[in-house]
Structure 1
Amino acid sequence: MLQNYFKARILVPPVKSKYHRTQLAGAIVIGLLKNVFTLNEIKAGLLALLGNGTPKTGYNNFVVMFNEQAAKAGKELSDPTSLELKSASQATLMQYDAVQSILFWLSAKNRLKELMDD
């Protein structure tokens, strides 16, 4: 699976088969996103996001948003507490939308499972 990400140039390949934190963090994010987006869409989103900052900052923002929104899952949607959406950059808004997409996908999957179990 990771080899596909390296070949598609979504992740930087490891040097001497040693993975770095950035590559592992990227694999986690891609693993979540690939259920909702194509690899080309993920690549375009990451390029847009990383054009405005470092991979570490992008990953940390993603984790904060994901954790905040996952804690609110199943409840009424609300803005994240960690950032002001009105003044957020387009890249940050895209990241927020991607987090919401993942959570909606997971919610729909759980509802389907519940229906099938009944």
Structure 2
Amino acid sequence: MTNLTEFKRWENGISRMHFPKWEELPSLGLYVDQVAAVINEYLTSLGMEPLTKSMINNYVKKKTIQAPIKKKYAVNQIVDLLLIGFFKNTFTINDIRQGILQITAKDYPKQAYDRFVEVLNARLRNEPIPANPNFTPSNEQLMVLGIDAVLAGLKARYLLETMADSNKTEED
């Protein structure tokens, strides 16, 4: 199998990936290990680094995300962690927080996150982004560029790894 064929097979696999909308996330409070499991289900299916319980606890200590109430995390904290996990290999934590604050300044967190999911899922499937005239154009552009940057990095890393593995096989 050629490098490009293997890459296309992987790309086809991630095109079937579906990031959850707000309403699809657990609405009951979850403990940190449950939160990590939910988040990592989505991140690792894209080939991204999982978030550990220690990382999540550090995000709370550094006030990157809100602290859990009675050790239980709500949907808004799960959403923040999904976004951090998705963007963290491409952007700094401060840039991610600033982007979240920028986008939610004019659009409610639920609507902003659901729009992020619509854009991401469309990009994963290489489909046109569904129109949404109610979403601020500059926020939309920021979101699209951020998602494209992350996906381009993921794709380039995967292709590079495939090529490196192929070179190792040829050397053996």
TM over 0.5: yes
Correspondence for 1:65: 119
**Superposed displacement of residue 10, structure 1:** 2.7
The alpha-carbon deviation at position 3 of structure 1 amounts to 2.2
Relative CO higher for 1 or 2, CA cutoff 8 Å, sep ≥ 6?
2
Q: Does 1:34 align with 2:88?
A: yes
Report the 3-state secondary structure (helix = DSSP H, G, I; strand = E; otherwise coil) of the residue aligned with 2:106: coil
Residue 118 of structure 2 contacts residue 129 of structure 2 at CA under 8 Å; is this kept in 1?
A: no
Aligned length: 111
- What is residue 108 of structure 2 aligned with on the other side? 54
| Structure 2 unaligned regions, length at least 5 | 1-54, 167-172
How many Å separate the matches in 2 of 1:109 and 1:25?
Answer: 25
* Cα-Cα RMSD: 1.9
Name the structure 1 match of 2:146: 98
- Residue of structure 2 equivalent to 1:75: none
What stretches of structure 1 move > 6 A for 4+ residues in a row?
none
Corresponding letter in the other structure for 2:106: N
* Equivalent pair of 2:90/2:149 in contact (CA under 8 Å): yes
The TM-score with structure 1 as length reference comes to: 0.84
Which letter maps to 2:152? F
Identity of aligned residues (%): 28
Task: Report the 3-state secondary structure (helix = DSSP H, G, I; strand = E; otherwise coil) of the residue aligned with 1:18.
Answer: coil
Match of 2:164 in 1: 116
Q: CA deviation at 1:84?
A: 6.2
Seen in structure 2, the aligned counterparts of structure 1 residues 58 and 8 have a Cα distance that, compared at 3 Å, is: farther
